[in-house]
């Protein structure tokens, strides 16, 4: 990950210095099309060696109260980068001395409780600088944990942006950045292609069965984060995680029905017109398992059910297709016009299967989406749901 920029940084600095003299519009004011980026965001970028949006993996790092600062580290996964670090890399960092928690609600300095501005599972835009001991060293000699956070903005799952940390010299300007269009301005400052342009194909309406897009997810009442605006990006994120959780789930689709054999199988023809019940129950939950959850590359190609793990505000933090089915039918129907009878379909009224998802503490609900079709085409509709408890349990 030591692929930090070694040239052209002075050009970026000159450009940012030129725009820092502009004034930000007041909160709630209509912004003009040729708007000057907010001074706080410009300061955040201009003073940084690296600017990254990270998913926090651990919440161990603390605001230092004493000098020299303790060596407490936070770990995160880079979702997006604007000044040279590689997307999808992991990073370890500390909080620079002089950091102040915003908007100022710091416990008393005499409090024995550590001040931890970052929460595991949170997504934060970080302005990073190299630690003083490594400032003059070549990029390839700097360790991956030689970065210090000098300012941070939290991207909440409500869609709001909230400043959470800054050096004293930057705190006044960051105070004004609540509900600010940070991504749009940041892409403008750094000349990075906009997310909408890069992943506009994920907003498409394609009338093919089961192709999952951000538009179809939004139509189902849930949404991807603004900074991971496509199923493709969500898949890339899941593919580089280091751990996951596994749920053992039972689905009772025909409550009270019991057929023959060990599996209680019944003939499907006897239940024509009877809809399946969305009775999903979590029997067991295992967390902090090593290895990444499955990448949803094949989502939308023949899968009837999609499992979406969402926060309390409906933001998607995980997608998977367990490939479950409660039916068993012949692979091929009889040839048209033949006298051959079609095979018999069977239903398993109660099935048990595993669901693997990111081990994200922000996940509160598992939404089961089923593919449905009508005169307007194919849709993913909420079919069932399972609740996860904040303590790690489930119901």
Residue 3 included in any domain: no
CA-to-CA distance for 358 and 317, rounded, in angstroms? Answer: 7
Q: Closest Cα to residue 297, out of 354, 221, 238? A: 238
Residue 188 included in any domain: yes
Both 232 and 381 in a single domain?
A: yes
CA-to-CA distance for 247 and 234, rounded, in angstroms? Answer: 20
Name the region of 264 (left: φ>0; alpha: ψ -120 to 50; beta: rest).
left
Both 234 and 87 in a single domain?
A: no
CATH number reported for the structural domain that contains residue 89 in this entry: 2.40.50
Both 56 and 71 in a single domain?
A: yes
For the chain, give the number of residues.
Answer: 395
Taking only the tens place, the pLDDT of each residue in 50-83 is 899 999 987 777 776 655 555 567 888 999 888 7
Residue 4 included in any domain: no
Residue 179 included in any domain: yes
Three-state DSSP class for 373? Answer: strand
Q: Is the peptide bond before 103 cis (omega within 30 degrees of 0)?
A: yes
Both 227 and 311 in a single domain?
A: yes
Is 210 within 8 Å of 378 (Cβ atoms)? yes
Query: Among 162, 193, 224, where does a domain finish?
Result: 193
Alpha-helix residue ranges (DSSP H) falling in 58-152? none
Taking only the tens place, the pLDDT of each residue in 293-311 is 876 654 544 557 899 999 9
Both 234 and 334 in a single domain?
A: yes
pTM: 0.78
Taking only the tens place, the pLDDT of each residue in 127-139 is 988 877 666 677 6
Taking only the tens place, the pLDDT of each residue in 155-204 is 999 888 888 888 877 777 777 676 667 887 787 777 666 665 555 555 55
Residue 392 included in any domain: no
Residue 257 included in any domain: yes
Both 182 and 205 in a single domain?
A: no
Query: Among 193, 213, 239, where does a domain finish?
Result: 193
- For 269, the domain range is 199-387
Phi, psi of 2 (to 5 degrees): -80, 45
Residue 2 included in any domain: no
Both 231 and 375 in a single domain?
A: yes
User: Which positions ≥6 away from 119 have C-beta within 8 Å?
Assistant: 56, 59, 361
Residue 394 included in any domain: no
Query: Among 164, 193, 222, where does a domain finish?
Result: 193
Domain total in the chain: 2
Both 251 and 109 in a single domain?
A: no
Q: Is the peptide bond before 68 cis (omega within 30 degrees of 0)?
A: yes
Low-confidence ranges of the chain (pLDDT < 70): 1-38, 64-72, 84-88, 103-114, 133-136, 139-146, 176, 178-180, 191-209, 295-303, 331-342, 390-395
């Amino acid at each position: 990950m030591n692929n930090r920029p070694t040239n052209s940084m002075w050009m970026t600095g000159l450009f940012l210095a030129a725009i820092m003299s502009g004034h930000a519009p007041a909160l709630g004011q209509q912004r003009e099309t040729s708007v000057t980026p907010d001074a706080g965001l410009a300061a955040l970028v201009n003073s940084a060696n690296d600017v990254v949006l990270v998913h926090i993996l651990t919440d161990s790092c603390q605001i230092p109260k004493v000098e020299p600062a303790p060596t407490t580290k936070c770990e995160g996964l880079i979702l997006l980068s604007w000044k040279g670090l590689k997307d999808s890399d992991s990073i370890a960092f500390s909080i620079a001395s002089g950091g102040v928690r915003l908007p100022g609600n710091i416990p008393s300095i005499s409090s024995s409780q550590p001040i931890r501005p970052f929460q595991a599972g949170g997504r934060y835009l970080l302005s990073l600088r190299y630690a003083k001991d490594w400032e003059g060293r070549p990029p390839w000699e700097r360790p991956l944990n030689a970065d210090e956070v000098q300012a941070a903005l939290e991207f909440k799952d409500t869609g709001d942006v909230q400043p959470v940390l800054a050096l004293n010299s930057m705190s006044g300007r960051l105070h004004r950045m609540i509900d600010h269009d940070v991504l749009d301005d940041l892409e403008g400052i750094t000349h990075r292609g906009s997310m909408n342009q890069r992943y506009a194909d994920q907003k498409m309406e394609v009338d093919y069965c089961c192709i999952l897009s951000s538009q179809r997810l939004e139509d189902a009442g849930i949404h991807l984060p603004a900074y991971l605006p496509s199923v493709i990006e969500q898949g890339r994120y899941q593919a580089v995680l280091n751990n996951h959780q596994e749920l053992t789930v039972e689905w009772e689709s025909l409550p009270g029905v019991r057929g023959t054999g060990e599996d209680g199988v019944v003939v499907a023809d006897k239940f024509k017109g009877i809809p399946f019940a969305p009775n999903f129950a979590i029997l067991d939950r295992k967390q902090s398992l090593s290895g990444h959850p499955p990448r949803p590359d094949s989502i939308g190609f023949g899968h009837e059910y999609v499992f979406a793990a969402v926060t309390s505000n409906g933001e998607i933090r995980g997608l998977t297709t367990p490939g479950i089915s409660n039916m068993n039918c012949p692979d091929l129907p009889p040839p048209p016009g033949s006298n051959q009878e079609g095979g018999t379909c069977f239903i398993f009224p109660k099935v048990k299967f595993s669901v693997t998802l990111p081990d994200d503490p922000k996940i509160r609900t598992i939404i089961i989406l089923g593919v449905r079709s009508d005169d307007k085409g194919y849709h993913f509709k909420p079919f069932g749901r399972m609740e996860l408890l904040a303590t790690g349990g489930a119901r």
